[in-house]
Chain A
Amino acid sequence: GAVVSQHPSRVICKSGTSVKIECRSLDFQATTMFWYRQFPKQSLMLMATSNEGSKATYEQGVEKDKFLINHASLTLSTLTVTSAHPEDSSFYICSAARVTSGGANEQFFGPGTRLTVL
């Protein structure tokens, strides 16, 4: 259990276009999902926290108008990179929170999406 999927796994787009990345919790309902960005040889950096049915909470320095997040259901969150630029090229990872059998609140990560903006 606790499987999180992302689609697409890789995407290449032209500068100025928009790209949508989907994150799904396949076998559990997640009230909270998270979006991270990871540059080469660096750790994951939290971009935003997404709660079902409400506006996402963005970390300092992350432009909410550029990185649109929609959490339409308990199993789906989407990240749209608008007007993409080459500096947006990165590895985007989502995670979904679930309370484990031991009572701990744990995040389960998706496989990531490699975005390349030409």
Chain B
Amino acid sequence: KNQVEQSPQSLIILEGKNCTLQCNYTVSPFSNLRWYKQDTGRGPVSLTIMTFSENTKSNGRYTATLDADTKQSSLHITASQLSDSASYICVVSARAGANNLFFGTGTRLTVIP
């Protein structure tokens, strides 16, 4: 069964601290993995997209890693800001196409001053 699981469900950190969000998946065959940021009441915004051959990809203060062997990915946020408070969703594509996406339930991050 194709599934995407994220941990933790929620996280509270102090402004300026770093944090790491986890994503485990059982989707097969694997095409790519994406991390999205979703602010409350808004649509998801893409942070990174990684294919099978990519181990790390950065986007500013966001760094995603992918281990295709263990089917795990992480999203590391450095020097967190209040505006980082949002849900972070891991999405795995099963084929080389846009249609077959499997969504994680997300990690709700709250950054406090």
Contacts and interface: CB of A to CB of B under 8 A. Distances in A.
A43 B43 contact: no
Contact of A104 (B32, B36, B42): B32
Q: For chain B, which range describes its interface: under 10, 10 to 19, 20 to 34, or 35 or more residues?
A: 20 to 34
Contacts, number: 49
B105 interface: yes
Interface of A is mostly: strand
A32 B99 contact: yes
Interface residues of A, number: 25
A6 B49 CA distance: 24
Interface string B2-18: 00000000000000000
A29 to B, nearest CB: 14
Interface of B: 32, 34, 36, 41-46, 49, 51, 89, 96-99, 101, 103-106, 108
